[in-house]
Structure 1
Amino acid sequence: MFISLITDCQDGNARVRQQTRYSVLFPGVPSNFVGVTSDIEAAGNLIDILDAAGDEEGIIAVNVAPRHGRAQKWVNGTPFGYLWINKILIVCTIDGEVLSLLKKMKLADQVNVTDIRTVLTFGGYETSLVEHAATSQFRSFDYLPRLARIVWEKKDIPSEKLAFADIPDVALDVWCIDSFGNCKTTLLPEDLGFVEGEEREIVFTDLAIKATCYKQLRSVPNYQTGLIIGSSGYKEKRFLELVVQGTSAAKHYSITQKDTFKIVK
């Protein structure tokens, strides 16, 4: 069994508190941690962790819960939900694009949305703790691990179903820039009619980039721009990456994580 945490609460203090709580609630189960800065970065990491886990059982906890901007429509940040994919339990925030790549990959069709007070009361927690968790600014610590424990034990808990039809479709984004400056996109090969050796044009804001399709990074000529079938994805479905052989595509084109683009041809 494994536990993997994907969260924007990623400073050292937040990290050790979250991992300690999971270790208390799931004794002997190792936890892995990745800090993210956006919902789409969380979505991409969720897909990669599902792929890495294979057929094993485990828990993936995903938290991207800003309180500013569009998130102010919620009383205290986005609600949390859960769903199962085979033997893997996903507990997560539901706002934004956190679940949009699951939708794109057709790995699930609904999520169970929970209410903090209802679930913790159902789980047998005392009233003072329930109220603290419901009003906490650190719900990924005060609620999410406990939600995971309750669902893991009970399998099904009080919740309301939210169809993935109501989850936003994923935008054309760069969801991750790796240590080499390769830009992982939300594109699958079929999204742009990927044919090795053919040229495609994508546009970031006002910057048009022409890139040749290659199945592997090693096939891209030195200092040339390519669209390759990357390592990230789920099973046979792999995301395309924008690369420049021998240097950083992100620096070369001034691309940042979560930049959006459009396909011209």
Structure 2
Amino acid sequence: MFTTIINDCRDQNALARQATRALTLFGYGVSIIGVEDDLQTAGNLIDVLDASEGKKGLIIANVAPRHGGGKKWENGTPFGYFFFKDTLVVSTIDGYCLSLIKKFSLIDSVKVFDLPKTVNLMIKHGYVKSEFHDLIVNSQFRSYDFAPRAAKLIVDKIEVASEKYPLENVKDIPKTIWWVDNFGNCKTTVLPKDIGFKPGKILKTKLGEFQCYPRLKDVPNHKPGIIVGSSGFGTKQLLELVIQGKSAAKEFGITSGSILF
């Protein structure tokens, strides 16, 4: 069993509090991935699901739209949940958080929590005292106050109030960079079939022209290339933009959200 937290609340205080709460609720090891935006959340979510292979565990993914983007909702973007085999995922649903889940066709819908009713269930079943009702409902740190406790209800097989949310309502993922690794390799949201990837082919992108190579080892020293990377799901792996022996991110000024096509 495992717990993985993917969250844009990633300072040391926030991470420690989230990990401690998850550990006290579920009692098994916690891994944490700090992210900056919903694209990074989408990529890390699909990678963790791939790593877990549907085994028993929990993923809590949260990223909040900034600069007022979440004001269309009553108190920020809602949380939903779904199972992939035996892995429970509790995630915010706005933006691109679930867009790679949609791209890989892992599920066709999520269940969106009715937050006040779910908090009432927490109180009814003794997860929290009644005086915490308003604090949780109005919390600005719902990935700490609400999401892990809601996940605990589901793990304990308590039926929660929810509404079906079809993935057709989720944004399609753009052809972009979602992550830069510590070597400066740039992970994309693009599958080989999306662009007719073929070794030796020259691809025109918004960042320039790049040759396709099957693996990183095939890229000539200090030359850029597009390769089949390690991220993705199952046998469907996403492409990466790299430079052999150098940082592609630094060379081309790439960050999460840089558009390729």
Under TM normalisation by the shorter chain, which class is it?
Answer: over 0.9
Which residue number in structure 2 is paired with residue 14 of structure 1? 14
Between the aligned residues of both structures, percent identity stands at 44
8 Å Cα contact 2:119-2:137 kept in structure 1: no
- TM-score, normalised by the number of residues in structure 2: 0.95
SS in 2 for 1:70: coil
- How many residue pairs get aligned? The number is 257
Q: Which runs of 5+ in 2 are unaligned?
A: none
**Deviation of residue 157 (structure 1)?**
2.1
Whole-angstrom distance in 2 between the partners of 1:76 and 1:158: 17
1:127 paired to 2:127 = no
Q: For the structure 1 residues 88 and 118, does the alpha-carbon distance in structure 2 shift closer, same or farther, using more than 3 Å as the test?
A: same
Q: Within 5 Å, which residues of 2 pair with 1:102-251?
A: 102-123=101-122, 124=124, 125-154=128-157, 156-203=159-206, 208-251=207-250
Cα-to-partner distance string for 1:27-50 (whole Å, 9 max, x where unaligned) = 2x1000010000010110001111
Whole-angstrom distance in 2 between the partners of 1:56 and 1:165: 26
Which residue number in structure 1 is paired with residue 260 of structure 2? 261
Whole-angstrom distance in 2 between the partners of 1:192 and 1:253: 21
8 Å Cα contact 1:119-1:157 kept in structure 2: yes
Q: For the structure 1 residues 150 and 240, does the alpha-carbon distance in structure 2 shift closer, same or farther, using more than 3 Å as the test?
A: same
Whole-angstrom distance in 1 between the partners of 2:98 and 2:66: 19
Q: For the structure 1 residues 67 and 257, does the alpha-carbon distance in structure 2 shift closer, same or farther, using more than 3 Å as the test?
A: closer
Whole-angstrom distance in 2 between the partners of 1:259 and 1:87: 34
1:3 paired to 2:6 = no
The aligned amino acid for 1:190 is K
Which residue number in structure 2 is paired with residue 87 of structure 1? 86
Which residue number in structure 2 is paired with residue 97 of structure 1? 96
- TM-score, normalised by the number of residues in structure 1: 0.94
**Deviation of residue 70 (structure 1)?**
2.0
SS in 1 for 2:44: helix
Cα-to-partner distance string for 1:154-199 (whole Å, 9 max, x where unaligned) = 2642100000010110111210000111110000000000111111
8 Å Cα contact 1:210-1:225 kept in structure 2: no
**Deviation of residue 235 (structure 1)?**
0.7
Q: For the structure 1 residues 179 and 149, does the alpha-carbon distance in structure 2 shift closer, same or farther, using more than 3 Å as the test?
A: same
Q: Which runs of 5+ in 1 are unaligned?
A: none
Cα-to-partner distance string for 1:94-152 (whole Å, 9 max, x where unaligned) = 11000000000000110100122111212324432121101111111100110110111
Q: Within 5 Å, which residues of 2 pair with 1:50-65?
A: 50-65=49-64
The runs of 4+ residues in structure 1 deviating greater than 4 Å are none
Which residue number in structure 2 is paired with residue 70 of structure 1? 69
Whole-angstrom distance in 2 between the partners of 1:79 and 1:66: 11
8 Å Cα contact 1:67-1:77 kept in structure 2: no
Whole-angstrom distance in 2 between the partners of 1:22 and 1:232: 26
Whole-angstrom distance in 2 between the partners of 1:154 and 1:214: 48
Which residue number in structure 1 is paired with residue 33 of structure 2? 34
SS in 2 for 1:162: strand
Cα-to-partner distance string for 1:3-40 (whole Å, 9 max, x where unaligned) = 0000001111101111111111112x100001000001
Cα-to-partner distance string for 1:209-253 (whole Å, 9 max, x where unaligned) = 111111100000112111100011111011100011111111111
**Deviation of residue 75 (structure 1)?**
2.2
